[in-house]
Amino acid sequence: MNWESVSAFINMGGYGTYVWGSFGVTAACFAFELLALRARRRQIISALKAGD
């Protein structure tokens, strides 16, 4: 284990903003992509249902 405490983990040796800014935005990007995929699928399915 590398970390003595949770706060040390969050602090990342002073680089916390950068590390969590990176991992966080990455997670957000993937989440956004997955939500967009779901929305797109919902849109086409409801359009198909309505059209028929």
Which residues lie near other proteins (CB under 8 A)? 1-3, 9, 12-15, 18-19, 21-23, 25-26, 29-30, 33-34, 36-37, 40-41, 44-45, 47-49, 51-52
Task: Give Cβ neighbours of residue 12 (< 8 Å, ≥ 6 apart).
Answer: 18, 19, 20
Smallest distance from the beta carbon of 19 to other proteins, in angstroms?
Answer: 6
How far is it, in rounded angstroms, from Cα 33 to Cα 31?
5
Smallest distance from the beta carbon of 41 to other proteins, in angstroms?
Answer: 5
Smallest distance from the beta carbon of 11 to other proteins, in angstroms?
Answer: 8
